[in-house]
Structure formats: C-alpha cells, structure tokens
C-alpha cells in the first residue's frame, strides 16, 4: 500500500434514504413533509434575482438568525444556522466533543451520530434503550465527554418528557448535552425552556420536516451565547459561506405564516393517528409517535418482506437492519390519499402471502 493510501481518512459513511428519480412512486422513506412550504416562501422564490448569484451571501446569515431569535424569544447571539441540521449537528460534534471520555447516545437513534463520532475520532458508547424503546435517563449519569439525545427519537418516533430530559442535562453540567429536536413540532416536548437554566444545553432543529423545506437545507442550533460563539468560530475556520442567500431569505419567510404552519402540522398529526389505528387493525404493533412517521412491525410478516413487497408496488418506506429493529418499518406520514394507497398495498401484500 502506498503511503498516501495509508493516509486516507477511512470512514463508513451514513447512508441516507433513497431519492428515487422515477415518477409515480409514493415516497414515505425520508420523513419529508407531503405539503408545500408556506405561501411566503413562494413570494421569495418569485423575487429571486439571478444576477445576485454573482455575489457571495451574507456569511452571518443575519436576516435568518435575527428572525429565528425573535421567533423563539431569544437574545442576539443565541442562534447558529447551517446547511440542514446535519451540518449543524456535525459542527456541534466538532466544536464540543473533544475530551478523551466517550460521548453517550442511545443504541437505537439517528444513525448519523456514530458516523460523525468516527470521522472526528470521538470515542462513544451507546446505552441500550429499554425493552419498550424508551431512553433511560439513569444511563446518562456516568462520566462522559458529552451527550446526544434525539427527542423525539428516530427511528423509534417516541418522545421523552421534559422532566426526564432535564434529569439528563442536570446530571451532565460539565459537558454539552445536545438535544436534537428534528421532529419536535409534531407533538414532542421541547427542551427550549431549559436554555435559561442550563448553559450546557444545545437544542438543534431543522426546516426539513415541519417546514416542508428539506431541499433548501436549513437547520439551526439554539443555546447560550458562549456555545453559539464557539460553533461560529469552528464554522468560520472551515467555510464562511455555508448558507446561500436564497436559503437565508426563504428560511426567514417561512417563519412569517404561523397559521399555515400550524394547520400543516395538524394535518400530518391527524393522518398519523388515523394511520396508526388502521395499521393496528391490520395486525401491526405501532409505537406511540410524536413525529411525522410511524415505527411499526407486523405480528407475522417480516419487516424485510413488507419493505420489498411495498417497493415492488412503488411505495418506498425505510427498513433498518439492526438486530432489535429489523422487523420494523419506518413509515413517513404522507397525504391522506398516499396513506390510503399505502394501506391498500399492505392489505394486498398480507392477503397474497
């Protein structure tokens, strides 16, 4: 092996859900929102001046950052924005997890966490979820280099109460606790009220799910000013211009139309609840979801067979291989029409076996 080959950073990358290019598919595999972004986003899009593409965007993304600070009632300097929450999470790992002690996150959670830990050479340990797929706060009360909790968790869809989250933050005041709230708008409990109380808390959110803007790549972190400043320093040591001017403008506009936003969330939640009971009637065990997806297994048919058969019918859901979850499907909530077609397909598959 040549020495340059030995010097290549070897990592096993995260594998995102498929983005099939064929037409006429029902795409329930990457937790996107089935409804369009808010009307204000269309207005911004119409006013885009292509000549402006010749210029660099505002490196501080000031317009978006100020809007987010106002929206969440925070002070100036408490928000960091990035190219989707993946970018923000990655920056947070790089900024805060530099000790020799292992960081902690659950054995079943967002599968990007171990990938960032590996690429940045951060040691980690994964306390197992309990038999009902719940996070046990007591598992996070040992020495560590930091903690990451997705709340609600993915792919389980289960939400954790504020008291339990506080228990974890309180027990870990010497390290940073990241709470990844990618799905919280769909019925989870946010840790935001704890920001005033704990300076070791960083809450991370995304526009990809509840704001129907996965394609624009907008994510953000909220925390005390020192944490945000530290993340800015790292970001500015890597790439000054992470957000395009269009994503800055669109992200700011999306916060304007609160009624539209809330209506959209309620539609997804109503469809989720209907779909959960329809699946239960069909012999599925469905976890209690606080997200825009369901995590479900059938009493007799294997997860892999259901996944493959649905795919043959051009319905894409997500299936993970891990031992504890291989019988489950993760099903993104689509429109009512899409979910009806999904349920019909499930009926056909079960009948045909």
Interacting residues with ligand PMP (CB under 6 A): 84-86, 110, 150, 154, 180, 182, 206, 208, 214, 219
Q: How far is CA 99 from CA 84, 117, 140, 155, 303, in A?
A: 26, 12, 16, 28, 39
* Least CB distance to ligand PMP at residue 143 (A): 25
Of the two residues 87 and 309, which places its CB atom closer to ligand PMP in the complex? 87
Distance of closest approach, residue 269 Cβ to ligand PMP, in angstroms: 18
Measured from the CB atom, the residue of 84 and 159 that comes closer to ligand PMP is 84
The residue number whose beta carbon is nearest to ligand PMP equals 84
253 and 43 in contact (C-beta within 8 Å)? Answer: yes
C-beta closer to ligand PMP: residue 154 or 202? 154
3-state secondary structure of 148: strand
Asked if residues 244 and 59 have their Cβ atoms less than 8 Å apart, the reply is no
Q: Which residues contact 1 (CB under 8 A, 6 or more apart)?
A: none
204 and 92 in contact (C-beta within 8 Å)? yes
- CB 219 to ligand PMP: min, Å: 4
Task: Provide the edge-to-edge strand list for the sheet that holds 293-298.
Answer: 284-286, 293-298, 328-332
Measured from the CB atom, the residue of 298 and 330 that comes closer to ligand PMP is: 330
Shortest Cβ 84–ligand PMP spacing (Å): 3
Question: How far apart are CB 279 and ligand PMP at their closest, in Å?
Answer: 21
Please say which residue, 148 or 301, places its beta carbon nearer to ligand PMP.
148
Q: Does an H or E element contain 169, and which?
A: helix 162-170
């Amino acid at each position: 092996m040549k020495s340059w080959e030995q010097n290549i950073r070897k990592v096993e990358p995260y594998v995102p859900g498929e983005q099939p290019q064929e037409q006429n598919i029902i795409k329930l595999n990457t937790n996107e929102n089935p409804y369009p972004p808010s009307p204000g986003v269309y207005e911004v899009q119409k006013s885009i001046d292509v000549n402006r593409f010749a210029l660099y965007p505002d490196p501080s993304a000031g317009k978006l950052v100020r809007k987010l600070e106002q929206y969440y009632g925070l002070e100036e300097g408490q928000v960091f924005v990035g190219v989707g929450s993946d970018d923000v999470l990655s920056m947070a790992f790089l900024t805060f997890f530099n000790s020799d002690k292992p960081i902690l996150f659950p054995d079943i959670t967002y599968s990007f966490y171990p990938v960032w830990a590996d690429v940045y050479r951060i040691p980690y340990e994964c306390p197992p979820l309990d038999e009902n797929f719940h996070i046990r706060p007591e598992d996070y009360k040992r020495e560590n280099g930091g903690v990451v909790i997705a709340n609600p968790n993915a792919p389980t869809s289960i939400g954790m109460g504020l008291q339990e989250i506080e228990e974890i933050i309180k027990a870990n005041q010497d390290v940073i606790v990241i709470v990844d709230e990618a799905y919280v708008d769909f019925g989870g409990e946010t840790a935001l009220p704890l920001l005033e109380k704990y300076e070791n808390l960083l809450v991370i959110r995304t526009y990809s799910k509840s704001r129907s803007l996965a394609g624009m790549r907008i994510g953000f972190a909220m925390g005390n000013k020192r944490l945000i400043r530290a993340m800015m320093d790292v970001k500015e040591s890597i790439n000054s211009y992470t957000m395009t001017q269009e994503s800055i403008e669109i992200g700011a506009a999306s916060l304007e139309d609160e009624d539209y936003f809330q209506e959209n969330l309620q539609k997804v939640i109503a469809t989720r609840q209907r779909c959960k009971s329809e699946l239960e009637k069909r012999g599925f065990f469905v976890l209690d979801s606080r997200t825009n997806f369901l995590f479900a297994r059938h009493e007799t048919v294997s997860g892999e067979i259901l996944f493959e058969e649905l795919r043959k019918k051009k319905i894409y859901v997500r299936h993970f291989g891990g031992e504890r979850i291989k019988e489950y499907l993760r099903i993104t909530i689509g429109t009512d029409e899409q979910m009806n077609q999904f349920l019909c397909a499930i009926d056909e598959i079960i009948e045909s076996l």
